[in-house]
Amino acid sequence: MAFKCVLKLLAKCFVLVILVGLFFTVVPRFMRVGSPARVKPAPEFLGPLTRNNALDYAERMFEGKIGFGPESLAIQDGYLYTGVSDGRILRIKNNKAEQVIKMGTPGCVSYYETSDERKRCGYPLGMRFDKNGDLIVADGVKGLYRVNVKTKAINFLAPRGAKSDDGSEVYFANDVDLGKNGDIYFTDVTQSPEGASPYWMLLIAPRPKGRIFHYDPTTKKLHTVIDAVYYPNGIQLSPNEDFLIFSQHILHNVMKYHLKGPKQGQLEVFMDNLPGLPDNIRPSGRGTYWIGLYTPRVPDEPSLWERLDCCSHFQIGQLFVYGFLELVVSAFDAVKYVAKFYQPFPILDEMQNEVRNFITNSVHHGDYGLIVEFNMNGEILRTLHSPHGIVNKVSQATEHEGTLYITSPVNNFIGKYKLK
C-alpha cells in the first residue's frame, strides 16, 4: 500500500513539473523567438560530399577505458594527449593511458553529471602544444590555462571570469590556436549559462553571444577580437597568420576574419551550409585541413527536428515537442529528488538518459559519422563517412603519420582510421 502511495506521489510530481515547466519555460521562450537566424536546407551528398563508408572501418581505441568525452586531441613526441569530462588530461602511448593532471577540487563531479557549476571539475576541450612543449588548453569550466606535461604544473592564463579589454568575461572557452610568436586565440561560445544549454535550445533561437579572444603571453592582456558571433567553436589560423577561420556551430558554417592586409577587421563567410554542426578544425600537415561535424544533416533522411521545421516560421512544432522532452528530463530530476526520501529507483536514471539520448540523436543524425577535408580557399576536397556510426558525433579529426585520430565529447573511445 505504501509503495503505491509513493508511486502516485512521484507521478503527481512528474506531471506537475511538466505543466509548470511548459508554462514558465517553453511559452516565454516562444514569445521571444522573434526572427531567429535560419539555416539553409541540407546540401545533397554529391561530388566530394558523396556518401561512403570509409569510417565504418575505423578502430575504437580504449573503449570504456579512458572515461567519457575526449573532445580534442594533441600529439607530441609520439604521445596522444586528450581531456575528458571529469577534468582529467590523459597521455596515451603503446596502448597505455595515464593521467597527467586533473582539474577541479576534491569531490568535484563530471561535467555531464551536474548543472551546478560549483560542483563541476574542469572539462579540457580544445588543446594544442606551444613552441615550448607546453599544452595550452581551452577548458569549458575553468577557462584558458597552460600545462607543463613534464612537471604537471598548471598556469592559468585567462580563467573563467577573466575580463577582456572591452569588459567582457571569459565564460565557456572551447577551442584554441597558437601564433608563431606565442599569441593565443581562443573561442568562447557564450557570455552566459546559455552556453551549456541543450543544442535544440540554441538552434531554436540562435543568438550571437560568442566571442573570439586573443591572449598575449608577453603582456598577459586579454583582447576581444570579434564579438557577437554564433556559438564559435573550432578555430584555426592561416599559414601566414593574416586571417583566422572559426566554425559557427549552430549556423552550419565557417567564418573568416582578416587580421592583416587591406581587409583587416572584416568578417566574411568562408564555408557555408555545411552538412552538419561544424566543430574543431585541425591541419592535416599536407596543406589541407580537417573539420569534424558533430551531428550530420543527411539528405533524404530528415530527422525529427528537420521534419518539424517545415510548418512555421516560429518553429512551433520544434519548440513544443523538444520543450516537452527537455522538461521530461527535468521532471526526472525532481522525481528522483523526492524518491530519495523513500527508496532509490535506479530505473529513473536509465529512463532519463534514454530521453536525453533521443533528444540528441533526433536533432540531426547523431549515429552518423562525418568528417570534411578542405583547403584554405574554402573548397571541400573529400569527406569521410560512417553511416553505421562506428565513429559518430565527431568533434575533431587529428592527422598524424597517415592516421586520423577521431574524438567526440559524448563517446568513451578514440577513433583511429588509416588514411588511404
What is the 3 state secondary structure string of 288-336? CEEEEEEEECCCCCCCHHHHHHHCCCCCHHHHHHHHHHHHHHHHHHHHH
Predicted confidence at residue 340, as pLDDT, reads 66
Three-class DSSP category at 54: helix
Residue 329 to residue 349: CA distance in whole angstroms? 10
Please choose, from the candidates 231, 331, 323, the residue with its C-alpha nearest in 3D space to the C-alpha of residue 28.
323
Residue 310 to residue 315: CA distance in whole angstroms? 8
Three-class DSSP category at 170: coil
Contacts of 260 (CB under 8 A, 6+ apart): 241, 242, 243
Q: Residues of 34-61 as b/e, b for ≥16 C-beta within 10 angstroms? A: eeeeebeebbebeeebeeeebbbebeeb
340 grid coordinates: 530519495
Neighbour tally for 115: CB within 10 Å: 12
Listing DSSP states for 149-164 in one string gives TTT--EEEEEETT-B-
Residue 241 to residue 258: CA distance in whole angstroms? 9
DSSP 132: T
Three-class DSSP category at 75: strand
Predicted confidence at residue 34, as pLDDT, reads 42
Distance of CA 235 to the CA centre of its chain: 13
Contact 376, 384 (CB under 8 A): no
Instruction: Please state the domain extents for the chain.
Output: 2-32+311-359, 47-303+369-418
Q: Please give the backbone phi and psi of residue 412, each rounded to the nearest 5 degrees, phi first.
A: -115, 35
In CATH terms, the superfamily for domain 47-303+369-418 is TolB, C-terminal domain (2.120.10.30)
Place of cell 536514471: 349
Residue 211 to residue 201: CA distance in whole angstroms? 19
Provide the whole-model pTM. Answer: 0.87
Neighbour tally for 111: CB within 10 Å: 24
Q: pLDDT tens per residue, the chain (420 residues)?
A: 555 665 566 566 555 655 555 555 554 544 444 445 566 788 999 999 999 999 999 999 999 999 999 999 999 999 999 999 999 999 999 889 999 999 988 888 888 776 677 778 999 999 999 999 999 999 999 999 999 999 999 999 999 999 999 999 999 999 999 999 999 999 999 876 654 556 667 776 677 889 999 999 999 999 999 999 999 999 999 999 999 999 999 899 999 999 999 999 999 999 999 999 999 999 999 999 999 999 899 888 888 877 787 655 556 777 778 878 878 887 777 777 776 666 666 777 778 778 877 887 787 777 899 999 999 999 999 999 999 999 999 999 999 999 999 999 989 999 999 998
Predicted confidence at residue 296, as pLDDT, reads 92
